[in-house]
Amino acid sequence: MTQEKLSYDELSNIFSQEKIIVDASEIHGVICGMLAGGMSVDDQEWIEVLEDVINQGDKFSARVKKNIVEMYNQICQEFIEPDFALALCLPDDSAPINDRGQALILWVQGFLLGFGLHQADLSACSEEVKEALEDFSQISRMDEEMTEGEENEQALFEVLEYVRISAMLSFNELGKSLLDSRQADKSVIH
């Protein structure tokens, strides 16, 4: 039985109630970046790293930890799905365009942070991943207000899709699934 995925608004409310000052989209981005940057999915220290990065080293409450672990498990599952299943944690389409754009920027900033924690050597990356990271850097600095309208909706959708596909490309190239880490364990001579 799979757990129903919490929405951006539900997660944001939980984090806010628990005094987490980082947006749900940014937390989601950090986790995606850590995994896409090469962190093994069975790394047991990721939650402590996340506490250091987004909660100034303070431990998460049980409620926050439960929701972040569920988010992590969902991301791991989406990254290994064959049908490009990754869904970014962002406000739904009924939210104002600037709220969605700002959440996407926070997601990208989180991704870059998480990626950087696990991948300092970009020489191992393909040109596509390097270009995506450069584009992410530019997206993370965007701050223009957008007016509601079909043209801006389309532009936001295209950027969102580019970010989503690029994150999956990075994971496919550098990420380590549970299968990868189990194969590595077998190759270690004891």
Rounded Cα distance between 184 and 177, Å, is: 11
In three-state secondary structure terms, 176 is: strand
For 62-118, what is each residue's pLDDT tens digit?
999 999 999 999 999 999 887 878 999 999 999 999 999 999 999 999 999 999 998
User: What pLDDT tens digit does each residue of the chain (190 aa) get?
Assistant: 345 677 999 999 999 999 998 999 999 999 999 999 999 888 888 999 999 988 888 899 999 999 999 999 999 999 988 787 899 999 999 999 999 999 999 999 999 999 999 887 788 789 999 999 999 999 999 888 888 889 999 999 999 999 999 999 999 998 876 555 444 444 444 3
**Global confidence as pTM:** 0.89
Model pLDDT, residue 121: 78
Rounded Cα distance between 180 and 190, Å, is: 18
Model pLDDT, residue 177: 60
Model pLDDT, residue 179: 52
Q: On the CB side of 121, how many CA atoms lie within 13 Å of its CA?
A: 4
Assigned token pair, 99:
């709220």
CATH topology of domain 8-182: Four Helix Bundle (Hemerythrin (Met), subunit A) (1.20.120)
In three-state secondary structure terms, 33 is: helix
Model pLDDT, residue 190: 39
Strand partners, 176: 40
